[in-house]
Structure 1
């Protein structure tokens, strides 16, 4: 089966990581849909590399939840899971507000300049309907907001959760213009509340922001399953 994409020739250095990055982008963008079989020989030919780094890339993506390696079938793009969405977003809704409460009072002028730049870039990408970077910018904003919490272990856990929900976040943002505009407004409100020192209000808004994304995704997937 041919890949539904333009060929990407990879350089010989760190080819497994490059293959993982290329496949991650294809899965995140929806170019490789859920259930799509990822044949090692086809991927190796597509990227111009051997099957060994392709196999390593697939194992890496399995660890991120983007790929399932099925006995006697090989690797397939993971299906969208309501149970997984509920669990991952629940954990984010528990942990991120806690980190924000600790981080917000310590955010610097440089941090706020970076947050403002991310907001401006998100608005630019949104106005141009370039959805490929929405998930990345969302993750960057959340990362900066929590970066001064001083809790490296919890931050590492949340970083993993953000990575694991990135695919879902991109899907949620792509559902409608209203979803994107609401995310933009809530992000701007979060930054402004932190800037004003309204830490409790910011943490409460962050919790609602995450929970709303979860609810919207659950409704979308369940409705699609019923079709």
Structure 2
């Protein structure tokens, strides 16, 4: 996976960091797995220096733990951690949506609706988490707050590592989809207060599902 010409705008550490982050969040690297610098350097087509810098950045994001004798390992996330991150989701995403609704255009609504159509046709629970994220992201992007969006993306990534399959299978997609279509309707109507309240309840339902899963375990 040597760096290609289209990626020269990013520094080598940033490219390695982004690639590793995606691999960790998507489950390519599992909790507790060791990340060997020489193997990563070969995989990304770089020296070990960008890899070391990328691992330090991922440690600050809470995805990697640097240990004295083992080197870097993929850090685990507990159920309690995720429940708190869902509280953070509510705070960040409700703020983003409140700022986004006044800026939404016809094209934003069309993109969000198309994602919901794809979601409706997806039969595999593993794909529902991705569709869910794409829909929410489409609603938040018009807020035009890059730092806020970056915080939302990082926090959601941590939550998604833990919940993407368990919660999807527990809740199914019928109820979440009903809530998604209702939120999109409220966005079209410009009803900021109502759609922010709906979003908060929507995320709280994920918390309830996670608690139920944890109790069963």
Instruction: Give 5+ residue unaligned stretches, structure 1.
Output: 1-8
Q: Does 1:32 align with 2:25?
A: no
Q: Secondary structure at the match of 1:49?
A: coil
Distance of 1:34 and 1:221 partners within structure 2: 18
> Compared with structure 1, are the counterparts of its residues 185 and 70 closer, same or farther at alpha carbon in structure 2 (3 Å cutoff)?
farther
Query: What is the Cα deviation at residue 160 of structure 1?
Result: 1.0
Distance of 1:148 and 1:16 partners within structure 2: 29
Instruction: Choose from 108, 126, 131 the match for 2:126.
Output: 131
Query: What is the Cα deviation at residue 79 of structure 1?
Result: 0.5
Query: What is the Cα deviation at residue 21 of structure 1?
Result: 3.0
Aligned length: 210
Within 5 A, what are the aligned runs for 1:1-227? 9-11=1-3, 13=8, 14-124=11-121, 126-127=122-123, 129=124, 131=126, 134-135=129-130, 137-149=131-143, 152=145, 156-169=147-160, 171-175=162-166, 176-181=168-173, 182-220=175-213, 224=217
User: Which consecutive aligned stretches of 4+ in structure 1 deviate over 6 angstroms post-superposition?
Assistant: none
CA contact (8 A) 2:38 2:48 kept: yes
RMSD: 2.9
Q: Secondary structure at the match of 1:69?
A: strand
Distance of 1:22 and 1:114 partners within structure 2: 26
Using structure 2 for the length normalisation, give the TM-score: 0.78
Q: Secondary structure at the match of 1:193?
A: helix
Q: Secondary structure at the match of 1:10?
A: coil
